[in-house]
Structure 1
């Protein structure tokens, strides 16, 4: 094995691409007849075993939790297939490779560092703005555009008023979790020219007749348990996001290994629908628990 080490370092990116493409091929192959059996799922277990030695390294640290969660019950649903394929496509994109991943992790930590003392100054924002200008290859990777939008807005009058400081701390404060090895689970996003929280603030949740969908993992329940609880309260559940869904629940159990895949395919779909004018609330799991406790 030692004689292959130099080649492995040389062909690292090629090996990663091959591993991800092989996973995509397995998913597409075993699902091509729309029927998936236990023998076919075993091939996904074999893929996990083959790459397990890399499971703590990017991008396998993002793939492993998704694949393992999908097949743990011995069933691979259409939504689970789509989630895996979506993540594979994101990780194969050039913007997820090499320096981009490193720079994005640096950006997350920089934001946390700026907010760590509870005070954000004009000088800090100017310094961060200069850094963003030197790293424009991160544009369109969350949260580059959101931060750029916020800084431009706040620095327009060269002052930070109390309301702007509160908004900055609300945004930047989310990233302090990175320093504690936790995952950002309530990230803000830009909608048009407006910066808004991904998850609704103090949402009004009505269960009777409403359709709920869950993305991510819950820190209290399995997905089956959570869906059963919603149904007992008169709600309906869906495996995928569509115009029929009123609430997308974002699970609170984040993955601290993620570089910047803070949210996935379902949230991406919900944000798109929301921008198109469809009424769909993205709700943090903790708010769902609060709504249930208030009944």
Structure 2
């Protein structure tokens, strides 16, 4: 674990339990949204369960994991087994009042997106099921990435057929919201801006340090936050810990943060996206591009 994350782990246990539970429910809904569960989708769910090792001995996972493992033992997840697991999840309520229901529903959406993509292909039937889920959960409107997902799917489904370009766009977006293995941070998911599909992180950004405001989120693979601050200030830039309207560049640490409630991004990223929607020219920059820009500026 990255040292920057250790201080979060002690007080984030409840949120990590809930996030894992909601994501598993979402994956189950996603892999079965077209009424078919294939071998690749079962393998995806099995792999996700393997990544819950740090909480599997705790309630509710000490009850849930054995049930899921039994269901997956033969390499097949039947409809009845899925319903049994979903029923158990609904009874294993650890939520309390520490965050509102929007958080849980958004975590479930992330799981659904991952479940749909589990077999490597997104079908028209799956998108129809997803649109139904989005309609039933329209209280998530304005919460990123609900609007982007809904807008992209609506555009793709206008002619009722997913062409090759649309398939790639859908896969690119959906793949950002399930964290497995070392994929700890967003890379460049597309978002809808002014009716156009654009990348969230700037591609090969031209970064100007002099008199520009920088903010950082997540953890760096190379430096402490204070080191990043010193780099910016040495090159004539200004640093802030808060994602406000004055920020020009939000740098996203390549090591992510396992305590983020939304797994692949955090509050600052969502705030930056909302600023961009209002016309504020804030650039989201991946840490790798930031280091390249620093190297260029230092000559």
Give the shorter-chain TM-score range.
0.5 to 0.7
**Structure 1 residues 128, 181: closer, same or farther in 2, change over 3 A?**
farther
Cα deviation code 1:57-98 (max 9, x no counterpart): 227989xxxxxxxxxxxxxxxxxxxxxxxxxxx9544423xx
**Structure 1 residues 91, 191: closer, same or farther in 2, change over 3 A?**
farther
Give the structure, 1 or 2, with the largest relative contact order (CA under 8 Å, sep 6 or more): 2
Per-residue deviation at 1:154? 0.5
CA RMSD in angstroms comes to 3.4
Match of 2:15 in 1: 58
Stretch deviating more after TM superposition (178-187 or 209-218)? 178-187
- Could you tell me whether the CA contact under 8 Å between 2:144 and 2:270 is conserved in 1? no
1:198 paired residue among 175, 197, 200: 200
Match of 1:142 in 2: 144
| Higher fraction of helix | 1
Match of 2:282 in 1: 280
Match of 1:233 in 2: 235
Distance 1:268 1:131 in 2: 22
Structure 2 counterpart SS, 1:107? helix
Stretch deviating more after TM superposition (184-193 or 158-167)? 184-193
Stretch deviating more after TM superposition (251-260 or 180-189)? 180-189
Distance 1:228 1:105 in 2: 35
Per-residue deviation at 1:173? 1.9
Distance 1:117 1:232 in 2: 48
Give the 5 Å matches for 1:22-101.
52=10, 55-58=12-15, 92-96=99-103, 101=104
Per-residue deviation at 1:155? 0.7
TM-score by length of 2: 0.58
Structure 1 counterpart SS, 2:15? coil
Structure 2 counterpart SS, 1:205? coil
Cα deviation code 1:199-249 (max 9, x no counterpart): 222211123443322223222211110111223334332333445432121
For the pair 1:180 / 2:137, whether they are aligned, the reply is: no
Cα deviation code 1:268-295 (max 9, x no counterpart): 4433433333322121222212323445
Which stretches in structure 1 are left out of the alignment for 5+ residues? 1-47, 63-89
Paired residue total: 213
Cα deviation code 1:124-163 (max 9, x no counterpart): 2223223333444444443322211111110111122222
Which stretches in structure 2 are left out of the alignment for 5+ residues? 1-6, 20-96
For the pair 1:160 / 2:183, whether they are aligned, the reply is: no
TM-score by length of 1: 0.59
Distance 1:57 1:216 in 2: 20
**Structure 1 residues 132, 57: closer, same or farther in 2, change over 3 A?**
same
1:212 paired residue among 202, 214, 220: 214
